[in-house]
Structure 1
Amino acid sequence: MISVFIVFPIFAGFILFFINKLTDSLCTQKEIPEERQGNVFQTINILVTILLISSYVDILFT
């Protein structure tokens, strides 16, 4: 159980980091204007964070 408290946040940090790298590559490849890139990053980060939190809660209560 203690490993969940240590390993999962580290794992989540790596996931967020790599998702942001992939989002940056997407914005560059699709030539999304600078004004819209902030919204793209914010939307993707919020959705991934919700997914990670729900996964964490699911692991804790199963």
Structure 2
Amino acid sequence: MFGVFIIFAVFILYNINRLTDSLCVQKEIPEERQSKVFRTINILVTILLVSSYMEVLFA
């Protein structure tokens, strides 16, 4: 189950990063701020994935 969840998490993170890149291009966010935007979104999505894994594990 852990392996399937890891594959799912990588797929989700890839798609979220692709969408974040599209957002940065569309909103014309400066290069200096883009790394901060990516870091924030990646941390929040990682927290969401870990919490959903814990819910599945202990449910």
Q: Provide TM-score, normalisation by structure 2.
A: 0.97
1:30 match: 27
What secondary structure does 1:47 align onto? helix
What secondary structure does 2:24 align onto? helix
Residues 1:21 and 2:4 are matched in the alignment:
no
Number of aligned residue pairs: give it: 59
Q: Percent identity?
A: 73
1:12 match: 9
Q: Provide TM-score, normalisation by structure 1.
A: 0.93
| Unmatched tracts of structure 1, length 5 or more | none
| Unmatched tracts of structure 2, length 5 or more | none
Structure 1: 4+ residue segments shifted above 3 A:
none
Largest Rg, 1 or 2: 1
